[in-house]
Amino acid sequence: DLHATQEKTGMYKHDWTAPKESDISGFDPRSINSINALTGGKGHAPAFSTNPLAPPEDLWDGNRCADDEELLGKLCYKKCSLLTDGKAPIRLSAFSCGKSRGFADFFSAKVVTLVPCEGYDISGDEAGNGCPHKAGTCLVNEEFSLGKCYKRCEDLTVGQYPHRTSADTCCKTKNFLECIDPSNSHFSFGFNVGGGKGAESKSHSPNTKYTELGH
């Protein structure tokens, strides 16, 4: 019967032991503000913007740049850990990455080129791997150009001129010299717009509210 089954399977055994008073003394349940705190974890639960056009950036990671970027001075660069496959994860300058910030590693740092906006002196993938930029990021339907966020040329021209070369010009190719040819580029004041609403309907600086809460 049911009673015999419960006895046989040990359902009546008291395997649980109440915690000692010393284990919970001084504990304030109000200090638990997340599952992570409850379980003793050291990380954090990711938080994301409610704007449907905002990129999926972790807003609690202490990083004011995009998730694949790092801040040096006042500019965001693609993370050295990504650029070097983890071999030189510490950014030492705009052009160099190293294993640490130690004296010896500083002089043995990896440098690809000293040409601005190339090598390690670039922004992250989301920003198009162009020149480093101010802290923050653009909306998902925008692109960086000369440090500002613009609505993507690909959307504005229905794919015919997908590459932005200036605030008012979109081009068929990434090659700047080829874009000088009028047949390859299209100029319009209507291209100088943002992809959002309100203030973000105009071209604008990258916004840190999409990369980190409190900034």
Domain annotation covers residue 195: yes
Domains in the chain: how many in total?
1
108 pLDDT tier (thresholds 50, 70, 90):
confident
Domain annotation covers residue 68: no
Q: Based on the number of CB atoms within 10 Å of its own CB, is 150 exposed (0-12), middle (13-18) or buried (19 or more)?
A: buried
Domain annotation covers residue 7: no
Domain annotation covers residue 146: yes
Choice between 214 and 45, residue whose per-residue pLDDT is larger: 214
Number of other CB atoms surrounding residue 30 within 10 Å: 6
Alpha carbon distances (Å) from 156 to 109, 153, 207: 42, 5, 22
Domain annotation covers residue 83: no
- Using CA atoms of 172, 174, 176, 177 in order, give the dihedral in degrees to the nearest 10: -70
Helix/strand/coil percent split, the chain, to 5: 25, 20, 60
Domain annotation covers residue 161: yes
Domain annotation covers residue 198: yes
Q: What is the pLDDT of residues 34-64, one digit of tens each?
A: 444 433 444 555 566 778 898 989 888 899 9
